[in-house]
Amino acid sequence: MPVSDFYARPVLEVARDLVGCEVSHGGAAGIIVETEAYHESEPACHAFVGVTPRTRVLFGPPGTAYVYRSYGIHALLNAVCEEEGVGAAVLIRALEPTAGLARMAERRGRSPNAPKPGDGPGAGAFGTGLCDGPGKLTQALGIGMGENATSLLDGPVRIAVREPLPVVTGRRIGITKAAELPWRFCAVGNPHVSRPWPRP
């Protein structure tokens, strides 16, 4: 399957298959371990309101990066999916750092191996705390609004398609609308996810 067709599929499939792929930008890279799917048919998606100057990227060609600022502080990275004209995207929520950890730590302004509360036995992996959140990973990779609407195939931000990892599904995080949809995908047993798991 051509890489360009990878994103031209139902957003739930792409969200699942992106877990295990590698994102790289700004001299750093990491494996995707957590994603969330968003689709114009449900109100939590920015595309729900239709095409606006802001959301037109979501309706654009699949394989495009949609970057937006959340709470005035954090940039969040999405991969546009489905056919052009359909508003859908996958939010990248967490990475397992694989390259450029020193750059990440520098941009994040903290130790590359800072432990986080709740880390269990098995969770002492190098790099936890650097990319375990949607706002954190963009900061660690140096991604900002300047990367909005750029291609994930040949633009500054690249996603290398890899063999998908086993995932578990659950509810999305931090939203108030359509929060009950099980559209979050986490790599099984990975310590780099943003939260261990939502309660049932």
Partner DNA sequence: GTATGGATCTTCT
Partner DNA sequence: GAAGATCCATACA
- The residue ranges that bind DNA (CB under 7 A) are 36, 38, 44-46, 49, 52-55, 58, 66, 68-74, 76, 78, 89, 91, 108, 110, 117-118, 133-136, 145, 172-177, 194
How distant, in Å, are the alpha carbons of 47, 153, 165, 183 from that of 144?
20, 18, 27, 25
Instruction: Output the smallest distance, CB 2 to DNA, in A.
Output: 25
With respect to DNA, which residue has the nearer C-beta, 111 or 166?
111
With respect to DNA, which residue has the nearer C-beta, 71 or 154?
71
Instruction: Output the smallest distance, CB 98 to DNA, in A.
Output: 19
With respect to DNA, which residue has the nearer C-beta, 55 or 150?
55
Q: Please give the sequence-ordered ranges of beta strands (E in DSSP) within 40-174, or none if there are none.
A: 65-70, 74-80, 88-99, 158-160, 167-170
Contacts of 154 (CB under 8 A, 6+ apart): none
With respect to DNA, which residue has the nearer C-beta, 2 or 109?
109
Instruction: Identify whether the C-beta of residue 67 lies closer than 8 Å to the C-beta of residue 81.
Output: no
